[in-house]
Amino acid sequence: MPHKFQMPQKYIDRMVERLGREHVQETLETDKTALVVVDMQNYFMDESQLAGCPVGQTIVDNVNRIADVVRQTGGMVIWLQNFIPDHSTETWKTAHERYSPKNQEVRLKSMKPGTWPFEFWPTLDIREEDHQIIKRRYSAFIQGSSDIELILTDNGIENILICGVATNVCCDSTARDAMMLNYRTLMVADGCATFSDEEHANALIAFYTNFGDVQNTDELCARLEASNRRNVIADPAH
């Protein structure tokens, strides 16, 4: 099952004191919203893999549900796929140095198009109208990592919802950078996964108190649907 997480009340109180309410994003312009699903590939989800995070398998239903609601309410869905090019042993040596030579080789071989570890987890509901984007760093937004900003700009996106693995690595890096590039950003508590409850909680608390919002799947889907109804009432031709 997904990580059991509830935002500690002291951090909610801090947010209410600062902002006047619990959530920054109580409503969303749904047609300006993108769900960004981070690295839900076999390499990061199957327990046999070097970076396998089996809890990731338990969030698939939530991710698929959110993707469906985002599509139905006029937003877009983006699936990020991590790729490690051979030249990164020089251009990003600081990442490779964190692995033994044997494990460096495993990572390079696994994160290549055409290999099973590189492929998306098979039960993800990836649709033809969705976007699949290669990224080359933990964050999709750092220079040279991906072309996600071009796609978001072309589609008028202002709000980003983050799901995927791992909560405290690529999800957190991507979410923080999105906020600092002026996107309203929300991490889905039961739509992200990592290796332990502690790591998951620490990442979400830091994000909520400093960078963006944190909601669970039920909260988020209800807000998307309610926001969409208000948008339609306000603009019947929408």
Kindly state the tokens that stand for 4. Answer: 């059991």
| Residue 234: band (very low, low, confident or very high) from pLDDT cuts 50, 70, 90 | low
- The CA distance from 147 to 138, in Å, is 14
Phi, psi dihedrals of residue 237, rounded to the nearest 5°:
-85, 0
Q: Specify the pairing of strand 33-38 against strand 159-165.
A: parallel
| Look-up of token digits 């923080």 | 176
pTM comes to 0.94
- Using alpha carbons, select from 126, 149, 138 the residue that is nearest to residue 194: 138
Task: Return the SS3 of 165.
Answer: strand
What pLDDT is recorded for position 236? 58
**Cβ atoms 59, 190 nearer than 8 A:** yes
Indicate whether 237 pLDDT > 60.
no
Query: In this model, does residue 204 exceed pLDDT 60?
Result: yes
Residue 31: pLDDT above 70? yes
- Confidence band, pLDDT 50/70/90 cuts, at residue 98: confident
104: phi then psi, degrees, rounded to nearest 5: -60, -45
**Among candidates 191, 199, 184, 235, which has minimal Cα distance to 216?**
191
Q: At what angle do helices 60-72 and 217-234 cross, to 10 degrees?
A: 0
Q: Phi then psi for 123, rounded to 5 degrees?
A: -95, 5
Q: Provide the mean pLDDT of the chain.
A: 94
* Cβ count within 10 A of residue 23: 17
Per-residue pLDDT tens over the stretch 144-182: 999 999 999 999 999 999 999 999 999 999 999 999 999
Please check the confidence at residue 235 and state whether its pLDDT lies above 70.
no
Q: Where are the alpha helices (DSSP H) in the chain?
A: 9-19, 42-45, 60-72, 88-91, 93-96, 101-110, 148-154, 172-180, 197-210, 217-234
Contact 207, 176 (CB under 8 A): yes
Domains in the chain, ordered, with CATH? 28-81+120-129+147-178+218-223 (3.40.50.850)
**Per-residue pLDDT, 189:** 99
